[in-house]
Amino acid sequence: IYDIFWVFFSSSVFVGNVMVTVATKLDLPIKLLMPHLNNMPMSQCMLIGLGDIVIPGAFITFGFKASKKLHTLSYYIACIIAYTLALSLIHLSEPTRPERNSY
């Protein structure tokens, strides 16, 4: 809920979108530029934040530990599949992700 508010609803409370402003103005290692699959000359890239990598990574780690404790790989495989699907959905949701050319 926290992330959803700052991405989608902060522009109605503040002057602009806080998450986009932070992601585009700060030059810190907290973002990755991911090119669109259909845009080969990389003129536009999506911004993927550190939270899009760290939190799912922790989720995958917990799935791996649960699978190891229960002597099955089903939780780990389910976490990997869910993360892959989530990244695919991020790739498809172009309007909701800030573009590199927007700053």
Q: How far apart are CA 94 and CA 67, in angstroms?
A: 34
SS3 state at 22: helix
| Spatial separation of the C-alpha atoms in residues 31 and 47, rounded to whole Å | 6
- Can you tell me whether residue 16 is helix, strand or coil? coil
27 assigned to active site: no
**3 is a catalytic site residue:** yes
Catalytic-labelled residue, pool 7, 17, 52, 98: 52
Residues known to be catalytic? 3, 52
